[in-house]
Structure 1
Amino acid sequence: MPQGRIVKALAGYYYVQDGDALWQCRARGVFRKKGITPLVGDEVVYETNGTEGTITEILPRTSELIRPPIANIDQAILVFSLVEPDFNPQLLDKFLVHTEAANVDAVICLTKADLLSDKEKLNRIRERCNAIGYPVVVTSSKGKRGIEDIRAYLGGHLSVFAGQSGVGKSSLLNALFSGLSLETAPISQKLGRGRHTTRHVELIHLAEGGWVADTPGFSSLDFQSIEANELGLYFKEMRAMLGECKFRGCLHVNEPGCAVRAAVEAHEIQPARYENYLQFLQEIKERKPRY
């Protein structure tokens, strides 16, 4: 049977790319019975009747994100604006936790550099991101600044562009890929954040090889799939200290002999990052179970 990749999911249909052919497919009912949902990015086996296809098998996934719902990515371009809306370090750390949990490499893209008058603020943000071990690219879609730097990361990867609403993902993708013309929307003056302009996940095939996903914007992430004793593993600087705490299973809160808290006091770990860790840990402890 033929194989392909799901490049779009819309209104109950899955669009499967197989070479130059694009098939509109339904998923077999057995997936629903098993509680399995095909995702954009899935490699699948399908069959056709000449006009429409049916997905019969989903091949094993190498990675999976919940929000945005996408499979088999190996790189996340995390898009955060410097202004309008203002840079949100806590939300960035939340995104980084989720990409680390999915074993996906992250590149931080800072947009709207042309709108930021405080260059020292830009330097502080960039230094914060570099210090925790993530590459940073500063862009401006209007001036094309940094566009080629982002493009250099994309070849040969299945990359997802993700970030809060209104940070300029669609504008960035329009600057990267001429002729794309994704809808953009102004920032809400009342809320200070953008309206959602991308309403479904779709993969864009790159001429140089690889795929890029534009995803719906969203304002929050939860920790439903992450346990309290796992959270520290998804902060790079804490993971590097694995095994150095006095007690096994240390949550780095008030346990004696905690190497992480000692590193925070010595400013080897950024205090702001540690505060975000504590906030996320509390969210995990207080979450309500889903049934």
Structure 2
Amino acid sequence: MSPRRREYDESDVRIRPNRKGSRPRTKERPAHEDAVPGFVVGVDRGRYTVLVEDRLVTAMKARALGRKSIVVGEHVRLVGDTSGDCDALARIVRQDPRTAVLRRTADDTDPVERIIVANADQLVIVTALADPEPRPRMIDRCLVAAYDAGMEPLLLLTKADLADADAFLATYAPLKVRYVVTSLTGDGGLPRGLEELHAALADRVSVLVGHSGVGKSTLVNALVPGALRATGDVNDVTGRGRHTSTSAVALRLPDDDGWVIDTPGVRSFGLAHVDPARIINHFPDLEPGTAECPRGCTHDEPECALDAWVEGGHAGPAGPSRLESLRRLLRARTPGHGD
């Protein structure tokens, strides 16, 4: 005997819930009129440390911001829990317009730009006079990046107790770049020249860039007591510093006297984002010499007027080395060449 067939009615029909809800979709984004302003002081694996008034808030980026990068120095707007409690998490929903962006690439042919910091107005190029030896071409690259970003450069020379600074500074005298000279220890164990450096940083947002081992973190720890930035030594074999700082961080100077942004040590500073035609504009000691260049001159050819300009002493004693640095930068923009 076959089993009796069951009769079904509407109560047996199961309707899957509409997971997207019944409200019609809209392209209008929430206005977030209650969003509070904040200043990004640290970034770590998708979490952002943001200063809101007098407290530090942990935040994540809202999905609506998409692939927009948020870096140290950003002025942002947050919603959610901005209490700063240990388990609180806010959302960054808006990014204020940037006043300046410091960029670099891995090399001069890499199309991918890496934004280091936003909204800084001063680039502090930190180099040791010895241990490790200074690399003038790296400094030239940083100067080009600073001028291109609309930032004022400041040369910060460390370890002046190991080598004389005058010969090095003569190379950059035609540029009239501001500089501060410091040495390892002074009164009370603090670096000598610290007061002059503090005066140069006052009321500014300054980003420190330099090789590992040049003393950036040591100076930051002296400028901002309690910063606790890791410090390291120079490798005796390679002559290079060991990476200590692993991420950029913004630190307020005492008495609310400005901000310093310490960055990890860099091995290279690519300028793929800078138009080669603009590079000469960032060598103000050489640019006047291009007035007699032939039309379309690349400034790296036999007919270039810069050779006669430099030979005539118009660019000062450092002219030959500066011209070679310019041409190395221009050649590096061609695949197959390097710094």
Is this a same-fold pair by TM over 0.5?
yes
- Report how far residue 259 of structure 1 moved: 4.7
1:173-192, aligned counterparts within 5 Å?
A: 173-192=220-239
Matched with 2:54 is 20
Matched with 2:68 is 36
AA at the equivalent of 2:139: L
Matched with 1:62 is 99
Distance of 2:295 and 2:245 partners within structure 1: 44
- Report how far residue 113 of structure 1 moved: 1.0
The partner residue of 1:226 within 255, 259, 274 is 274
**Is 1:93 matched up with 2:136?**
no
- Report how far residue 166 of structure 1 moved: 0.8
Distance of 1:138 and 1:123 partners within structure 2: 10
Distance of 1:4 and 1:266 partners within structure 2: 54
Matched with 1:267 is 313
Greater shift after overlay, 89-98 or 61-70? 61-70
Distance of 2:157 and 2:202 partners within structure 1: 20
- Report how far residue 65 of structure 1 moved: 1.3
Distance of 1:36 and 1:248 partners within structure 2: 40
CA spacing shift, 1:199–1:266, aligned 2, 3 Å = same
- Report how far residue 195 of structure 1 moved: 0.7
DSSP 3-state at the match of 1:69: strand
Matched with 1:134 is 177
Contact in 1 for aligned 2:289/2:306 (Cα 8 Å)? no
Distance of 1:170 and 1:212 partners within structure 2: 11
Calculate the TM-score normalised by the size of structure 2. 0.77
- Report how far residue 255 of structure 1 moved: 6.3
Matched with 1:167 is 214
Distance of 1:2 and 1:180 partners within structure 2: 26
**Is 1:84 matched up with 2:131?**
yes
AA at the equivalent of 2:70: P
Distance of 1:261 and 1:48 partners within structure 2: 61
Distance of 1:31 and 1:251 partners within structure 2: 41
Matched with 2:150 is 103
AA at the equivalent of 1:233: N
Paired residues, number: 280
Matched with 1:8 is 42
Matched with 2:29 is none
- Report how far residue 29 of structure 1 moved: 2.1
1:206-285, aligned counterparts within 5 Å?
A: 206=253, 207-239=255-287, 241=288, 244-254=291-301, 256=303, 258-269=304-315, 270-285=319-334
Distance of 2:245 and 2:299 partners within structure 1: 39
Distance of 1:101 and 1:17 partners within structure 2: 28
Structure 1 spans left out of the alignment, 5+ residues: none
Contact in 2 for aligned 1:141/1:147 (Cα 8 Å)? no
Contact in 2 for aligned 1:141/1:172 (Cα 8 Å)? no
Calculate the TM-score normalised by the size of structure 1. 0.90
DSSP 3-state at the match of 2:59: strand
Distance of 2:320 and 2:173 partners within structure 1: 15
DSSP 3-state at the match of 1:114: coil
Contact in 2 for aligned 1:133/1:236 (Cα 8 Å)? no
The partner residue of 2:192 within 145, 149, 161 is 145
AA at the equivalent of 2:329: F
Distance of 1:114 and 1:243 partners within structure 2: 40
Q: Structure 1, residues 53-77: CA drift from partner, whole Å, max 9, x if none? A: 1111111111111246100000011
Distance of 2:45 and 2:209 partners within structure 1: 22
Distance of 1:15 and 1:260 partners within structure 2: 49
Q: Structure 1, residues 220-249: CA drift from partner, whole Å, max 9, x if none? A: 11122012212111222234x287244454
Q: Structure 1, residues 115-174: CA drift from partner, whole Å, max 9, x if none? A: 22xx3xx21102222222201211013223211111101111110111011111011112
Distance of 1:62 and 1:287 partners within structure 2: 35
**Is 1:47 matched up with 2:79?**
yes
Q: CA RMSD in A?
A: 2.0
Matched with 2:85 is none
Structure having the higher Rg: 2
Distance of 1:261 and 1:62 partners within structure 2: 37
Matched with 1:196 is 243
